[in-house]
Amino acid sequence: MGRRWQLERRRDYYYRMAKREKYRSRAAYKLRQLNHRYQLLRRGDVVVDLGAAPGGWMQVALEEVGDGGFVLGVDLQRIADLPHKNAATLVADITDPATAEKIKEKLPRPADVVVSDASPSISGVWDLDQARSVELVRSALRLAEGVLAPGGRFLAKVFQGAMMPELLQLIRERFEFVKVSKPSASRKGSAEVYVIGKGFRRP
């Protein structure tokens, strides 16, 4: 099974593109596509990337914010350093409420954007996996409330399922514009979608 998965991965269009363009993961193209559609990342932005390892989304964010911006990657795993003075990393648990203060200590000012591509450990039990995915988004949302500037933007991956309506209601209470989108770079058959929030306001 492992060998078959590796062969499929090598045949994958976005995997091959990522290797060619020197992105750390094929997921970089998901952020690029979503950003093209929703203009989430702007020049000079301060960005917090949750669940950032191995750093593909950080690479895209750094391209978009330019030298005047700043990108902080947060993950339980250590993220290998990027060759940018305006990038930093933090080893921390995004489900821990204390992480918000650790993030703020690393930022030059309140964040303009919080993004999360965090995934739960997959158990194979769908209801459990979806519940864990939703809980990660809730954690990302709590962190966003602590670090986002008014009017800020939010993006998070979630698995579709019965808990989506309640989650979307929470996000709508905090953002003026909310949309659910699935980029073409997501694998066929994947249940993942991305929730976009723009115009942050405290509930």
Taking only the tens place, the pLDDT of each residue in 123-178 is 878 789 899 999 999 999 999 999 999 999 999 999 998 999 999 999 999 999 99
Is the pTM above the cut of 0.85? yes
Q: Which of 22, 30, 85, 157 is catalytic?
A: 157
| Top-confidence residue, 40 or 19 | 40
Is the separation of the CB atoms in 65 and 42 below 8 Å?
yes
- Assess whether 106 carries a catalytic annotation: no
Q: Buried b vs exposed e over 92-119: b needs ≥16 C-beta within 10 Å?
A: bebeeeebbeebeeeeeeebbbbbbbbb
Rounded CA separation 71/84 (Å): 10
Q: Which domains does the chain have, with CATH numbers?
A: 25-200 (3.40.50.150)
| pLDDT category of residue 7 using cuts at 50, 70 and 90 | very low
Rounded CA separation 118/49 (Å): 9
Query: Mean of the pLDDT values across residues 8-33?
Result: 78
Length of the chain as a residue count: 203
